[in-house]
Amino acid sequence: MNRSQPQLQWLFLMFLVSLFFHFHTSYSDVGTAALYSPSYSPTACYGSDASQFPSSNLFAAAGDGIWDNGAACGRLYLVKCITTTSTPYACNQNQTIQIKIVGYIGRAPFAHSTYNATIVLSNTAFGTIANSSTGSSYINIEFERVHGEDVVPLARGPVSSSAPNPTTEDAVGHYP
């Protein structure tokens, strides 16, 4: 038996372990998103404070699955619409957005029909990732909480950041 074989096996094992710790892995969850129409204020997180809304107008209200007794307020999530065989044209392809949680679905102004959604997206957020020609107010989503600045946007498309101000106009130019 060759004496160098155990040494090579050990080196190979160390190489594999170093690769394992070198690569950053991220995991996304799958859920549903509904449309969050104006009026956006007051919210469960920040009341009537207009500064709560990101300048991009990409924000959402959290469902029970991510609400975490209010700890979700201010959290950032990367969100991407995903298609299914029953909704093949529901999404604007290659669009990933970063949203901020500002509200809670389990409280007014949300209709009872949105309570089962994972998140309810602002008009701008919903319109950025969903195909408006389908007329659907629900979409399937892949989402991931942003933890610091090392998160990669689901490796599928650009992150959109340009949108109207939520206190002045919505995605189609209406004023609340």
Q: CA-CA distances (angstroms) from residue 141 to 34, 94, 117, 145, 162?
A: 10, 13, 10, 13, 20
Looking at the predicted structure, is the pLDDT value of residue 52 above 70? yes
Q: What is the pTM assigned to this prediction?
A: 0.69
Instruction: Answer whether 96's CB lies under 8 Å from 153's CB.
Output: yes
Q: Give burial (CB, 10 Å; 0-12/13-18/19+) of 83.
A: middle
Q: What are the backbone angles phi and psi of residue 104, rounded to the nearest 5°?
A: -130, 130
Rounded (10°) CA dihedral 155, 158, 159, 165: -160
Split at pLDDT 50, 70, 90, the class of 100 is: very high
Q: State pLDDT tens for residues 68-98.
A: 999 999 999 999 999 887 878 899 988 999 9
Q: What's the CA gap between 92 and 19, in Å, rounded?
A: 35
Instruction: Answer whether 118's CB lies under 8 Å from 56's CB.
Output: no
Q: State pLDDT tens for residues 142-176.
A: 999 998 644 444 444 444 444 344 444 444 333 33
